[in-house]
Structure 1
Amino acid sequence: MAESPPVTSPFVEATPAARSAAFAELAAAGPVRRATLFTGVPVWLITGYAEAREALAHPDVIKGKGGDGPHRDHVPKELAAAMDHHLLGSDPPDHTRLRRLVSAAFTRRRIEGLEPEIRRIVGRLLDEVSAAGEQGAPVDLLTTFGYPLPLTVISELIGIPADRRDDFQEWTKVAINGSVHPAETFVAAATSLIDYIRELIAQKRAEPSDDLLSGLVAVREGGDRLSENELTSMVFLLLVAGYETTTHLICGGVRALLEHPDQLDLVRAEPDRLPAVIEELLRFIGPAQVAIPSRTAAPVRIGGVTIPAGEVVLPVLLAANHDPRQFPEPDRLDVTRPAASHLAFGHGIHHCLGAPLARLEARIAIGALIERFPKLRLAVAPEDLTLQAGLLIGGLTALPVAVA
């Protein structure tokens, strides 16, 4: 099959407006099309809502055994094995087994039990934001609030001591968007992260406590339990997916509300709307731009297009969540929008296991922020905000605000 020319890549556009326009251009070319990513990898991009939903649940669109991540030619096999044996990188029956074991430790009760601690962390961080923003001084909400909150929550959940969290933050920033970093930088960060996870696992085996990692180490069903590579891979996934994505849901959501003051006023007037507001923000600016890449195990026909076997398939979640066939006026933020099934957390068997935690953190964080600071506003023009380059995550590089 002839290679289609590269499309304008939304993943490297520097401003929110330019990236949104590039996503719209990509979607306008058709819901399923072949393209070449900025990394040089040929893929099938799926931008339509119905088509993406179908691809995410199709039995012949599979994850396989890893191998599609950044710089795989440069990643040592032992390191790849320690990162790849998790839910997002497996298919049934392995996926079914892993999800059953992990769900036994990652329970709704454990997540709901975090709410008082999340509220305490939010209150402390907002005190620091208030002090930094006295007399109208600009404050970068990303570094003072967006990053510290989920970093602290996921660290508390898993059991990462406070004196190692700065290291973890630096390793994770590289690991989650490895495609925009040199191979040696990615491998060094991933190696450091996996080495540290192994240290943590050894500590929890010796001295278990009431945290998720101790639960994952101990969980078993019958004679089954997580292997060493499955443990490191699951913690790697939880650290990366449970931290950076929530940061950018919170900060991206705040940006969207500040740029739509009529919607912000509605939320302030009716705070009981917050759960529905978070769903609309997930649809509108969901931090996961794409799903984890998959491959076709056989020829697959989606959206009137046949994708041959052995091809990389990439559902573009942000584009699908702006499909006008599914969401009327999709480019308008509307916190009163009737409930609709967005794809921000994926769909099917790989639907995000951590979605309840992300929703809880975002609801508490955004609700407390807008209640605490009635004068909250952007400290720069919207067009001066910039985004990180990256395939998976479309987050801001900074969010300067004024709070007084």
Structure 2
Amino acid sequence: MSTSPEPLAFPFGDPPGLAVEAEFQRLRDTPGLCPVQLPYGGPAFLAVRHQDVKSLLTDPRFSRAESVGPDEPRLLPIVQRANLLMASDGPEHDRLRRRLAAAFTVRGVERLRPRTEAIVGELLDGVEKHGAPADLMELFALPLPILMICELLGVPPKDRLRFRELAESFLAAKLHQLTAQQIGQAGQELRGYLVGLVAGRHHDPGDDLLSTLVTEAELSDEELVGIAVTILIAGHEVLADQLANFSYFLLTHPGHHRRLLDSPELIPSAVEEMLRHTPLGVSTGSPRRATEDVELGGITVRAGEYVLPVMTSANRDASVFDAPEEVDFDRRTNPHLGFGYGVHRCLGSALARMELQVGMGALLQRLPSLRLAVPAEEITWCTGGLVRGPQALPVAW
């Protein structure tokens, strides 16, 4: 990289539990951007300060579409396809996003709340029926997002178990021992299933999002499949791990747990604060590639170089958040970047918020005496993937 010393190996390590790498504090206090090398792809810079991350995500000279390819810095060996909503820019991105926006407004999401509450209730019925100890990850956190995605896409009940298996393999969710060939095979099978699902909607539309897009959105079948994959990537493992991570946080912080039991009206603000404070994966969003020389963080990023936004570090920036290392469910100003920022800000943020609020609220109400069934230090955490979460979360009540 033309403007930097030798890149550091990134991720920096595997901090225990939900700890944040101490290195980020040093980097926030150090001028410039940090050059790094991820396991796959070319070198990159890290943007770790709140303002630098916002600038990166709003400057059109940093392209998401041009980042896609074998040189893209990434954690996993799979090279992304370039036609996903998350990997497009400009008019093409705007066109696809507009087609989806109506379904993911707050009003549109609220129409899904009753069904979400019903699914959450059924899952918690299963947890109680299983009895303690129960794995909250397997019985609650993992199935909720995939069942909601199945609702959105109209996946028939008979196909949902296989759909979940393919999705988890494709995303390497909790299965990081899979080879690149196995992940690729799962991706091909999943894409083939979605191709068939889209084709079926042309002949027999339902009342799901996919049917609406097929009949009204003027999108090609390839674009529809790409959107379905995008919904799956954005809405499955990330949300599952957040549900598990939030639960783990509350169960290891009894004061915060009791606060929500006593004041459930705080759940929406608690969800926002845990989105800010709880690290997700190695803390980076998708890389951006400079299309021309750009000044960022006090240095010049040359055309063709990559920059990774580090959301978790930005969310601990003391220049933006008072007492950033503390969890404060009464925090009044909370401009966290848990859902990204700018034109690529998570389209499903309203849906994710609703699922997290419903899920956490029901969990607290149904199982107020919930506790970890093993010492916290015995929880094993998934590492090496896109997001961080417990492999299992054994609980009792």
TM-score clears 0.5:
yes
Q: 1:234 to 1:22 in 2, by over 3 A?
A: same
Encode CA deviations 1:53-88: one digit per residue, 9 max, x unaligned: 11111111111253238699976xxxx6xx532321
Match of 2:11 in 1: 9
CA distance in 1, matches of 2:333, 2:31: 26
Matches within 5 A, 1:5-404: 5-7=7-9, 9-10=11-12, 13=14, 15-16=16-17, 20-21=21-22, 23-24=24-25, 27=28, 32-39=33-40, 41-64=42-65, 66-67=68-69, 68=72, 83-133=81-131, 137-177=132-172, 181-220=178-217, 225-285=218-278, 287=280, 289-390=283-384, 392-403=386-397
CA distance in 2, matches of 1:246, 1:384: 23
Task: State which drifts further: 390-399 or 146-155.
Answer: 390-399
CA distance in 2, matches of 1:363, 1:110: 16
Q: 1:28 to 1:166 in 2, by over 3 A?
A: farther
SS in 1 for 2:295: strand
Offset of residue 35 of structure 1? 0.7
- Partner amino acid for 2:346? C
Q: 1:342 to 1:17 in 2, by over 3 A?
A: closer
Task: State which drifts further: 92-101 or 378-387.
Answer: 378-387
Task: State which drifts further: 311-320 or 104-113.
Answer: 104-113
Offset of residue 335 of structure 1? 1.2
Offset of residue 230 of structure 1? 1.2
TM-score (norm 2): 0.90
Q: Percent identity?
A: 36
CA distance in 1, matches of 2:378, 2:40: 26
Q: 1:383 to 1:40 in 2, by over 3 A?
A: farther
Q: Which runs of 5+ in 2 are unaligned?
A: none
| Kept after mapping to 1: 8 A contact 2:34/2:46 | yes
| Kept after mapping to 2: 8 A contact 1:13/1:19 | no
SS in 2 for 1:236: helix
CA distance in 2, matches of 1:173, 1:31: 37
| Kept after mapping to 1: 8 A contact 2:141/2:240 | yes
SS in 1 for 2:90: coil
- Partner amino acid for 1:245? V
CA distance in 2, matches of 1:118, 1:372: 15
| Kept after mapping to 2: 8 A contact 1:105/1:216 | no
SS in 1 for 2:223: helix
- Partner amino acid for 1:389? T
- Partner amino acid for 1:131? K
Encode CA deviations 1:293-352: one digit per residue, 9 max, x unaligned: 221111121111211111121101112112222222222222122231100100001111
Q: 1:338 to 1:199 in 2, by over 3 A?
A: same
**RMSD of the TM alignment (CA)?**
2.5
| Kept after mapping to 2: 8 A contact 1:55/1:315 | yes
CA distance in 2, matches of 1:203, 1:17: 43
| Kept after mapping to 2: 8 A contact 1:106/1:212 | no
Offset of residue 18 of structure 1? 5.8
Offset of residue 8 of structure 1? 5.6
CA distance in 2, matches of 1:144, 1:33: 40
| Kept after mapping to 2: 8 A contact 1:9/1:22 | no
Q: 1:17 to 1:255 in 2, by over 3 A?
A: closer
CA distance in 2, matches of 1:189, 1:53: 35
CA distance in 2, matches of 1:326, 1:355: 21
Offset of residue 367 of structure 1? 0.8
How many corresponding residue pairs? 389
Q: 1:335 to 1:71 in 2, by over 3 A?
A: closer
CA distance in 2, matches of 1:98, 1:38: 31
CA distance in 2, matches of 1:15, 1:162: 38
CA distance in 1, matches of 2:152, 2:37: 39
| Kept after mapping to 2: 8 A contact 1:7/1:26 | no
Q: 1:125 to 1:25 in 2, by over 3 A?
A: farther
CA distance in 2, matches of 1:17, 1:345: 18
Encode CA deviations 1:235-279: one digit per residue, 9 max, x unaligned: 000012112111111111111111221111111111111111110
TM-score (norm 1): 0.89
Q: 1:31 to 1:328 in 2, by over 3 A?
A: farther
| Kept after mapping to 2: 8 A contact 1:248/1:395 | yes
Offset of residue 120 of structure 1? 1.1
Q: 1:14 to 1:162 in 2, by over 3 A?
A: farther
- Partner amino acid for 1:383? E
